[in-house]
Amino acid sequence: MTAIPPGSTIGILGSGQLGRMLAVAAAQLGYRCHIYAPESGPACDVAAAFTQGDYNDATSLAAFAKAVDIVTYEFENVDPRGIAHLAPIAPVRPGSRALDISRERPTEKGFVRDQGGTTAPFREVTSLAGLEAAVAEIGVPSILKTSMFGYDGKGQARLASPDDATAAWETVGGQPSVLESFVTFAHEFSIMLVRGLDGATVHYPAPLNVHRDGILATSTIPAPALVQTQVEAAVALTTKLAHALDYVGVLTCEFFATADGPVFNEMAPRVHNSGHWTIEGAVTSQFENHIRAICGLPLGSTALTGASVEMDNLIGDEADQWPALLAEGDAHLHLYGKHEARPGRKMGHVTRVWR
C-alpha cells in the first residue's frame, strides 16, 4: 500500500459545502484540491483549481483525472458511468460500487438486507397501479420515496390512507419509487465509520439527529440511552457493509432506534451533515479522516474533545443570525459562502462543545 503524500492534488467531484470542508481539511494536511462540477459552488472558493464540466463528459473527466493524483466525491448522485472515465487514469475512492448501490433505494435496501440488516418493509413501485398494489400489501401509514435523487425530504410523499395513492404518485412526478412502511421509533441516529485503505476502521460516537421538515436540524452527543444500547449493532452492520463494498473513506448509515433494535434507514457513501460537529467536537474531524483514508494515511482518533457536543444547521435566513452567534464567543460558526439564502437551503452550521 503506497500513501499519496502531502503536496499531491486531490480531485473532488462536486462543488458543495461538503467539498468545501473536505478541501479545507486537505489543505491543513498539505494537499491541494481540484474541484470538478457542472457549476461553481462553495468548494471552489477554497480550492486550488476548478474544472466546470458534466459528470458524463468523458473528455473533460479524463483531462481532470490527469491533473490530479486521486479522486473522491462529495455527494452520491454522481453517475457511476462517469467514474468509469476516471478510474483507468486516477484511483477513485470510495469506488463506484458504493455509488451503484446507494443511488437507488431499492438496491440499497436489498443490499443491506443481504448483509443481515433490518429495514422497514418496502416495495419497489413503477406505476400508479403498482403503488396501489404495494399499499394493499404493506399498508398505511407509509411513505413513497423516489428511487433516486431524493434528499432533505425532497421526492417524498406520505400516505395516511389508500386514497392518497394518486396524489402521492403525482407528488413524486410518476418516477420509479419505493414505498416504505412507517417505522415506530423513539430516536434517529447515525453511524459515521471510516475505513482505511488497509481495511482498518474507526467510528465516531453516534449523534442523536433531529429533523425539521425533512431536513436535519440538530445533531447532539451523547445520544439518549436507548440509542447507546443499539450503537454496537449499528456499528457492526455499518462495518460489514464497508467491508463488503471494499470501501475507503467515510461511510455514513442512518438508523431508527426502535424497541426491537436499530432499523436501517439510508446509506451515504461520503462525509455527512450529521458529522459536521466533528470539526470541533472530535480529535480528528470526519473530513480529515476521509482525506487520511483515501490517501492511505493512518486514521485519526475519533474521541470527543468535550463532555457533550451539539451541532445546529443554519437553514435559509437563519444564517443571518451570524452576529449573535459570533458574540457567543464559544460558538463555532461555519458559513458556506452561498450567495442566496432560500427556504430549506443549508447555509451553514454552528457547533458548541461543552467541557
| CB-CB neighbours of 353 under 10 Å | 20
78 pLDDT more than 90? no
Please give, one letter per residue, the 3-state secondary structure of the chain.
CCCCCCCCEEEEECCCHHHHHHHHHHHHCCCEEEEEECCCCHHHHHCCEEEECCCCCHHHHHHHHHCCCEEEECCCCCCHHHHHHHCCCCCECCCHHHHHHHCCHHHHHHHHHHCCCCECCEEEECCHHHHHHHHHHHCCCEEEEECCCCCCCCCEEEECCHHHHHHHHHHCCCCCEEEEECCCCCEEEEEEEEECCCCCEEECCCCEEEEECCEEEEEEECCCHHHHHHHHHHHHHHHHHHHHCCCCEEEEEEEEEECCEEEEEEEECCCCHHHCCHHHHECCCHHHHHHHHHCCCCCCCCCECCCEEEEEEEEHHHHHHHHHHHHCCCEEEEECCCCCCCCCCEEEEEEEEEC
| CA–CA distance, 115 with 31 (Å, rounded to integer) | 36
151 pLDDT more than 70? no
191, 199 contact by CB (below 8 A): no
154 pLDDT more than 90? no
The confidence score (pLDDT) of residue 205 equals 98
Domain ranges of the chain: 9-92, 121-181, 187-354
Q: In which band, very low, low, confident or very high, does the pLDDT at 114 lie, cut at 50, 70 and 90?
A: very high
Q: In which band, very low, low, confident or very high, does the pLDDT at 155 lie, cut at 50, 70 and 90?
A: confident
The confidence score (pLDDT) of residue 191 equals 98
The confidence score (pLDDT) of residue 257 equals 98
304 pLDDT more than 70? yes
221, 274 contact by CB (below 8 A): no
277 pLDDT more than 90? yes
The confidence score (pLDDT) of residue 286 equals 98
> Comparing 78-82, 165-169, 293-297, which segment has the lowest mean pLDDT?
78-82
pTM score of the predicted model: 0.94
CATH superfamily of the 121-181 domain? ATP-grasp fold, A domain (3.30.1490.20)
108, 101 contact by CB (below 8 A): yes
The confidence score (pLDDT) of residue 150 equals 59
pLDDT digits (tens, 9 = 90+) for 210-246: 999 889 999 999 999 999 999 999 999 999 999 999 9
> Comparing 110-114, 145-149, 177-181, 262-266, which segment has the lowest mean pLDDT?
145-149
The confidence score (pLDDT) of residue 173 equals 92
pLDDT digits (tens, 9 = 90+) for 315-340: 999 999 999 999 998 999 999 999 89
308 pLDDT more than 70? yes
φ/ψ of residue 160, rounded to 5: -95, -15
CATH architecture of 9-92: 3-Layer(aba) Sandwich (3.40)
* pLDDT higher at 78 or 211: 211
Fold of 187-354: D-amino Acid Aminotransferase; Chain A, domain 1 (3.30.470)
pLDDT digits (tens, 9 = 90+) for 22-56: 999 999 999 999 999 999 999 999 999 999 999 98
102 pLDDT more than 70? yes
| CA–CA distance, 156 with 168 (Å, rounded to integer) | 8
The confidence score (pLDDT) of residue 1 equals 67
Which residue carries 472530535 as its cell? Answer: 282
Which of 250, 228, 202 has its CA nearest to residue 93?
250
Q: Which residues 6+ apart lie within 8 Å of 99 measured at CB?
A: 73, 76, 78, 80, 83, 269
Mean pLDDT score of the chain: 95
Q: Which amino acid is at 230?
A: Q
The confidence score (pLDDT) of residue 153 equals 56
Average pLDDT over residues 3-8: 98
